Structure 1
Amino acid sequence: MGEQAVSESMRRLAHDLQRIRKKRKRSLEDIHQETKIALELLQHFERTALYDHERYNPVYLRSFVRTYANAIGIEASPVLEALELAFEGRYRNQLAVQFLGEDPLPEPEPEAGAVAAEPPSEAATDRATARQPQAPLPLVAAPGGLERMERPASWKVWAGGVAVAIGIGLGLWYLLRPMPTPPPEHLPIDTAVASAPDTVISAEGASAQAPVLGDTITATVIAAFDKVDPIRIRVDRDLRRPYWIEQGDSMRFRFTERIILENQLDDIQLLLNGYPYPTDQRDAQGRIVITRAQLQAYLDSLARSPR
């Protein structure tokens, strides 16, 4: 589906959710007080489903929609299904049918002339010509008798050159392509804790040698004491984004140089590459700021501490 179809589906989904909210007599102020989501962000969501907003990304939007659905008093699963349809540009009015009792909208008619025959392209003409039988080449004398002359193999040389050029281009793209920041992964709390290495360093007993950090560091945020709604996290140079984590769940982030955590820090536990990290070490703004150098120094200090 084209971008225009996706944008229209997103707007239709947002409009239907707004009408459902009003039917259930829930104001935006009520939603704001319950979820702590900014009013401006809620208003923008009900216009375009954040499709044109700087915070738009599928992972964040799924979490946002789940929280919004719970706040207006409807089940989250059909709303999430409708969101997936909107991502594909195929949302019609399924939520309005289910929650407002409206009739389903008809499927769009195919555009006139969409199946009309088009004049053959130059490439199609060339293929048709190539399928036509060619007259046999003349016979020539050879040491073993008469042999048929071979056709020139210039097309093989041309095809080989194109294949080599494509291979070189793909290789350069792979080497020079920008590496996107991977989306956070939701994990059950038991899985997150179990994934820690057997040689976890603690203040009570540390291994003799501190681990050396690799190119990528994994931070696991566990909502251990209460629901986190939301915690705000900035990974490296990415934007600061909010994340909602149910109590007992966790979310995993990967960074290379720095991670910053804000809001509800008393309700979380934090693992870095599987090693527990204290959440009471905060800067003047009340944030947890962890750099690669700070983490390595922290692990080194634990390794030097007496058993």
Structure 2
Amino acid sequence: MRRLAHDLRRIREKQKRSLQEIHNETKIALELLQHFERTALYDHERYNPVYLRSFARTYASAIGIDPAAVLDAVELAFEGRYRNQLAVRFLGEEPLPEPEPETAPAEASTPEAAPERKPPQESETPLPLVTTPGGLERLERPARWKARVVGVIVVVMAAAGIWYLLRPAPAPPPEPLPVDTATVPAAATDTTPSVETPPVQVPVLGDTITATVIAAFDKVDPIRVRIDRDLRRPYWIEQGDSMQFRFTERIILENQLDDIQLRLDGHPYPTDRRDAEGRIVITREQLQAYLDSLARGVQ
């Protein structure tokens, strides 16, 4: 289903039709169109075969391709036999090879048991740091770090529990002494000078601003980014990973914006601030004004 959705999105982009235009023509919600281009609605709460066929027919007509061809591709996806038939027909790509059938293992020719083989040990490789055009940095992190973090937390909690059980009992509080009210002097007037509240520190942006895009909710496949006057480029981010982009005056983010979290120079930035085309456009002046409002407690 994801391959089918991926091919349909690329066909739409080749036809130079935006999701906003599809929304205006079909009155289908933008969020539902974005979800369809990620998973073909296979994991959506509205999913059922009848609804999906009707949705695919409407989508095909809106982007200007044969609805019958799209419905045939949907049937193949239901059966698990969709390779890239739509990309072959409408994008001119080569067909993907069919998977080879599994063959039954041959019977042993001799009754002697085969010698046991030790499983190969996986070699640990250092985490690669990849640098791409436009000031992009990406750190590949293996999933095993999560297990290590959980192990460290368990050890710390166990040590804290042992310390709590073995700690010495606290000494009883001292008994209060009787006070003769007749000899207690009157309380002196508090002459401590009041401390003035320091002024609010407003973050000041440097010459280069770092934008960190985190694939927090799903795989980003892909997001399109334009940095300053550079061309718009696609980037793919696995769920849980992040990418960094450095810009001086402006950055524009498009596609799958509901699946990401965004930080600018370490400060969280809301992803629902979008223009009429559904893009996130951030300039240096807009970001400085936003940080000023955060420093003063203005929403």
TM-score by length of 1: 0.37
TM-score by length of 2: 0.38
Give the structure with the higher percent helix. Answer: 1
